[in-house]
């Protein structure tokens, strides 16, 4: 049986620069965009990297990209310590937080916490079996990735990861972020028509 020919691969875009029309006239301010994006409910994760620059960071800029091959992405400010930690480790992990992990989300969002692996001293975690990146115990799910590509996206970098390990936890409710605050949602919450 003859298989259909696959389309030729498209060269990857290495920079997502601002469009020329946006350079001439700013269409949105950072403050306005932050207010608008607060109306988009997201899950909450803690992204981690192991190694010498081990670090963790609360993030909601996380998404699946592909199931075959399995890939995810996360977006990190180039000014954040997490940025250099991922580049140094060439790998990262994501712990998808459950509703009971609200304090962990706050902890990893607090810039005053200890630096390096010392920030994990008061946290229940275990090393990822493939990357060594810290995985937070009690999370709804975990994903470990080898760094595949890094793209520029304004003041952030978009880290594309090849998933090398993923596992689902057992928590009943997800921690979400909406309207500038944490909320919880579970399988019993349904939208009404």
The residues with which 64 forms a beta bridge, in sequence order, are: 72
Residue with tokens 């990822």: 128
Report the b/e string of 25-44 with b at 16+ CB within 10 A: eeeeeeeeeeeeeeeeeebb
Query: pTM for this structure?
Result: 0.84
- Name the CATH code of domain 42-172 (choices 3.30.2090.10, 3.50.50.60, 3.40.50.11720, 2.30.110.10): 2.30.110.10
Choice between 20 and 45, residue whose per-residue pLDDT is larger: 45
Phi and psi dihedrals of 69, rounded to 5?
A: -75, 155
Q: Identify the pLDDT of residue 165.
A: 98
- Quote the percentage of the chain above a pLDDT of 70: 85
Q: Identify the pLDDT of residue 10.
A: 52
Question: Within its chain, how far is the Cα of 19 from the centroid?
Answer: 25
Q: Where are the domains of the chain?
A: 42-172
- Residues 113-135 pLDDT 10s: 999 999 999 999 999 999 999 99
Say whether pLDDT at 106 is over 60: yes
């Amino acid at each position: 049986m003859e298989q259909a020919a696959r389309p030729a691969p498209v060269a990857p875009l290495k920079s997502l620069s601002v469009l020329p029309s946006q350079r001439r006239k700013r269409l949105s301010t950072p403050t306005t965009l932050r207010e608008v994006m607060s109306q988009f409910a997201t899950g909450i994760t803690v992204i981690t990297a192991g190694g010498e620059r081990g670090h963790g960071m609360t993030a909601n800029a996380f998404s699946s990209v592909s199931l075959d091959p399995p890939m995810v992405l996360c977006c990190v400010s180039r000014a954040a310590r997490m940025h250099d930690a991922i580049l140094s480790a060439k790998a990262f992990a994501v712990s998808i937080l459950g509703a009971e992990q609200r304090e962990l989300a706050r902890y990893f969002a607090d810039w005053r916490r200890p630096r390096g692996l010392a920030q994990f001293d008061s946290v229940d975690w275990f090393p990822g079996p493939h990357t060594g990146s810290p995985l937070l115990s009690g999370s709804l799910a975990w994903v470990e990735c080898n760094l595949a590509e890094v793209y520029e996206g304004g003041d952030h970098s978009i880290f594309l990861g090849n998933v090398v390990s993923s596992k689902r936890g057992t928590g009943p409710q997800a921690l979400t972020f909406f309207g500038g605050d944490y909320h919880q949602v579970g399988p019993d919450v349904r939208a009404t028509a």
